[in-house]
Amino acid sequence: MRRHRGLLWGAVCALVVLAVVGASVRAPLKDWWLAREACGGKLPGGDLKTVRPDTRLGKQEESFDEELGEYHCVLTTDKDRVVVAVDTYPDGPDRDKEMSFIGSARPPYAVLPGGLPGFETDNSVVYLMPECPRGGQGATAEHRRLLVGTWAFFAESREEKAAMLRIAVRMTNEVTGKLGCGGAPLPAPEDGAVPDTGAHVPRAEVKGTACGALATTHVPAEGRDGRVRIAVADGGVVGRCTLYAPQQGGDGTRPGEPLVELTSWLGDWGADLRVTGSLKGEGVFRQPSSTDSLAWAVAECDGENIGFGAQLGEDYSLRKADGKSGPPTEKQRGERSALLREYVGAFAKDQVRRGKCTGLRLPTAP
């Protein structure tokens, strides 16, 4: 009896060991299979391994509607957190909603290297905007663009950001191929290239740079000894120059409150992102405009529209001349409109010269 009981316990223990071993084998196999199948099997394995956290994978999903031009794929952990997600946004309400969401958070955005047409938001989403004339007609079809968003939630380090960018370019090329967009694929980023949030430079040293307008114009007194964030990429869709006040109580090496923001947007993305602020109406992005919150200039580069904006910092725009917060007076509104026109004029003229653009139109007083 004792012998039979020992055999029974031995069999139970063996089954437990087999179950544990089986589970330990199945989990890695499942991870391997999910990583291999995710996004149609097009995710580069090495880069996926870099952006993937040290945890088990949970599931993968993929859908594609060629007629609507919509693609979606996502790979998640076993805790249902996104590892990589890719979505396309063709013309229509969904893209308008996505662009509005992007624009609801105040920039800066990180510009992309190598002239890649897009930017990165502050939560590790890379938006690329390749030309995709599919479905377009006439002159505007040549520069019709598709919005492709790639999210790598866990990408934080420089190595992870580089892998994230490579994944975004790879998947964007895969999607444009599926949709028959035509044209050359986006170039692969150079080894180690990452999105650039910009360099902080003392205002006294920005003359001659892409943000030199902030050195040659009459900036607010609080920013004369401030610093400028330069985030402008050659050939990129978006560029940004931000003037910051010196950090109060510090040695001036850390940026303080944003005072003036200059932006450039290639194509009609500025209008979609609502950087045109209170300016409303069909085609407003293609017309120069001036208010006390935004000055907007327009030009044409390589046959594509480009817009230049000048805005005051979000908090600074509510400050009165006496330093107190509150809505500006009518006189202050007029003075701010004039300053913003000065800023955008200097910025746009320099950018047009650098980009060999034509047809610059500057805003005039209302």
Tens-digit pLDDT profile for residues 19-58 = 443 444 456 788 899 999 999 999 999 999 999 988 899 9
Confidence of residue 93 (pLDDT cuts 50, 70, 90): confident
Residue 284: pLDDT over 60: no
Nearest alpha carbon to residue 94 among 130, 65, 62, 121: 65
Residue 336 and residue 303 in one domain = yes
pLDDT at 110: 87
- Print the domain residue range for 158: 40-179
* 147, 179, 211 - which closes a domain: 179
Tell whether 16 is covered by a domain.
Answer: no
- What pLDDT is stored for residue 80 in this prediction? 93
Residue 126 lies in a domain: yes
Contacts of 345 by beta carbon, 8 Å cutoff, 6+ apart: 295, 297, 362
Q: List the structure tokens of 119.
A: 């930017």
Mean pLDDT, the chain, integer: 81
In this structure, are 229 and 155 located in the same domain? no
User: Is pLDDT above 60 for 13?
Assistant: no
Write down the pLDDT at residue 16: 41
pLDDT at 215 over 90: yes
Any residues with CB less than 8 A from the CB of 243 and at least 6 apart, and which?
203, 214, 219, 223, 226, 227, 228, 258, 259, 260, 261
Q: Residue range 127-138: average pLDDT?
A: 70
Domain assignment present for residue 2? The answer is no
Residues 108 and 204 in one domain: no
Note whether 143 and 91 are same-domain residues: yes
Alpha carbons 334 and 119: distance in angstroms, whole number: 34
Residue 347's pLDDT band (boundaries 50, 70, 90)? very high
What is the spatial distance between Cα 357 and Cα 349, in angstroms, rounded to a whole number?
10
What pLDDT is recorded for position 12? 42
Residue 258 sits in the same domain as residue 159: no
**pLDDT 10s digits, 72-90:** 999 999 999 999 999 998 8
Phi first, then psi, for residue 61 (nearest 5°) are: -135, 150
> Does residue 221 fall inside a structural domain?
yes
Of the two residues 28 and 212, the one the predictor is more confident about is 212
Say which residues have a Cβ less than 8 Å from residue 344's Cβ, sequence separation at least 6. 262, 295, 296, 297, 308, 309, 310, 362, 363
Residues 61 and 102 occupy one common structural domain: yes
pLDDT of residue 270: 61
Q: How far is CA 102 from CA 95, 176, 262, in A?
A: 10, 22, 18
Do 204 and 81 share a structural domain?
no
Residue 321: predicted pLDDT: 52
- Stronger pLDDT, 104 or 57, i.e. the higher one: 57
Residue 182 has pLDDT above 70, yes or no: yes
CB-CB contact of 302 with 350 (8 Å): no
Q: Are residues 240 and 323 in the same domain?
A: yes
Asked whether residue 185 is domain-assigned, the answer is: no
DSSP lists the bridge partners of residue 197 as none
**Terminus-to-terminus CA distance in the chain, angstroms?**
103
**Percent of the chain with pLDDT strictly greater than 70:** 77
H/E run at residue 119: strand 118-120
Per-residue pLDDT at 109: 73
Q: Tell me, what's the pLDDT at 138? A: 42
Residue 167 identity: I
Question: How far is it, in rounded angstroms, from Cα 39 to Cα 37?
Answer: 6
Assess if residue 91 is contained within a domain: yes
Q: Do 151 and 229 have their domain in common?
A: no
Confidence of residue 11 (pLDDT cuts 50, 70, 90): very low
Q: Are residues 204 and 164 in the same domain?
A: no
CA pair distance 291, 280, nearest whole angstrom: 12
Q: Are 207 and 175 part of one and the same domain?
A: no
Looking at residues 253-258, what average pLDDT do you find?
63
pLDDT given for residue 310 in this prediction? 92
Q: What percent of the chain has pLDDT over 90?
A: 42
**Range name among 126-135, 251-260, 283-292 with the lowest pLDDT average:** 251-260
Give the span between the Cα atoms of 214 and 120, in whole angstroms: 24
Residue 79 belongs to some domain of the structure? yes
Same domain (yes/no): 144, 95: yes
Place of tokens 């040290």: 54
pLDDT digits (tens, 9 = 90+) for 184-208: 899 999 999 999 888 999 999 999 9
Whether residue 6 lies inside any domain: the answer is: no
Report the number of distinct structural domains present in the chain.
Answer: 2
Q: What mean pLDDT comes out for the span 2-12?
A: 50
Which pLDDT belongs to residue 186? 94
Q: How do residues 219-254 score in pLDDT, each as one tens digit?
A: 888 888 899 999 987 767 788 899 998 865 344 434
pLDDT score recorded for residue 68: 86
Confidence grade of residue 18 (pLDDT, cut at 50, 70, 90) = very low
Q: Region 166-188: what's the mean pLDDT? A: 92
